[in-house]
């Protein structure tokens, strides 16, 4: 049995197809979905999305938050909808640009220790840094 998977962002449908397993990073840890999984809603963290297909290479993407929704019925099987804020496959990642962005954000974070920076701005810098670092690590 397989899982019907749909990965979408506000800008585009990234991928649709059948998979044996979907593994994503939620805010409370990793979750793996197989055919027959019970209905579930997970808030996604910044991290990898792995789509394992029978007899084909694994698809690996970076997801910048959003939701993973699992529906299951005896007639239609299991469906996984990944509604991501932003996502891209590993082969789409510009590693040099991601590394440059990570370096820039690291410098901003270091500079913020010497100046009064609003907490909201620090949270934003840290979030953007996580996004860049995940891209660098998966794209390398």
- Looking at the structure, do residues 19 and 66 belong to the same domain, yes or no? yes
- 56 — phi, psi (to 5°)? -130, 160
* Region at 50 (left for phi over 0; alpha for psi -120 to 50; beta for the rest): beta
Q: What is the pTM of this model?
A: 0.88
- Looking at the structure, do residues 84 and 32 belong to the same domain, yes or no? yes
* C-beta separation of 50 from 18 below 8 A: no
What does the alpha-carbon distance between residue 32 and residue 107 come to, in Å, rounded to a whole number?
36
Contacts of 29 (CB under 8 A, 6+ apart): none
Residuewise pLDDT in 10s, the chain (140 residues): 899 999 999 999 999 999 999 999 999 999 999 999 999 999 999 999 999 999 999 999 999 999 999 998 777 889 999 999 999 999 999 999 999 999 999 998 888 876 766 788 888 989 999 999 999 999 88
- Looking at the structure, do residues 86 and 103 belong to the same domain, yes or no? no
Which residues are 63's β-sheet partners? 47, 87
- Looking at the structure, do residues 77 and 11 belong to the same domain, yes or no? yes
Q: What pLDDT is attached to residue 31?
A: 97
What does the alpha-carbon distance between residue 84 and residue 65 come to, in Å, rounded to a whole number?
6
Q: 116 is in which domain, residue-wise? A: 93-139
- Looking at the structure, do residues 78 and 123 belong to the same domain, yes or no? no
- Looking at the structure, do residues 86 and 97 belong to the same domain, yes or no? no
CATH number of the domain that residue 36 is part of: 2.60.15.10
- Looking at the structure, do residues 43 and 73 belong to the same domain, yes or no? yes
- Looking at the structure, do residues 102 and 77 belong to the same domain, yes or no? no
- Looking at the structure, do residues 55 and 115 belong to the same domain, yes or no? no
Q: What pLDDT is attached to residue 114?
A: 66
Domain count, the chain: 2
Residue located via tokens 């800008």: 11
User: To 10 degrees, what angle do helices 119-139 and 95-112 make?
Assistant: 150
- Looking at the structure, do residues 122 and 74 belong to the same domain, yes or no? no
Q: What pLDDT is attached to residue 118?
A: 77
């Amino acid at each position: 049995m397989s899982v019907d998977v749909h990965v979408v962002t506000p800008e585009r449908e990234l991928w649709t197809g059948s998979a044996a397993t979907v593994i994503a990073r939620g805010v409370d840890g990793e979750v793996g979905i197989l055919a027959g999984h019970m209905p579930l809603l997970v808030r996604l963290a910044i991290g990898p999305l792995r789509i394992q297909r029978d007899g084909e290479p694994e698809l690996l993407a970076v997801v910048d938050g959003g939701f993973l929704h699992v529906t299951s019925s005896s007639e239609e099987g299991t469906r996984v909808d990944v509604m991501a804020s932003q996502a891209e496959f590993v082969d789409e990642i510009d590693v040099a640009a991601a590394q440059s962005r990570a370096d820039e954000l690291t410098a901003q974070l270091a500079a913020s220790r010497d100046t009064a920076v609003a907490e909201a701005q620090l949270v934003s810098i840290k979030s953007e840094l996580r996004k860049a670092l995940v891209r660098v690590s998966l794209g390398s």
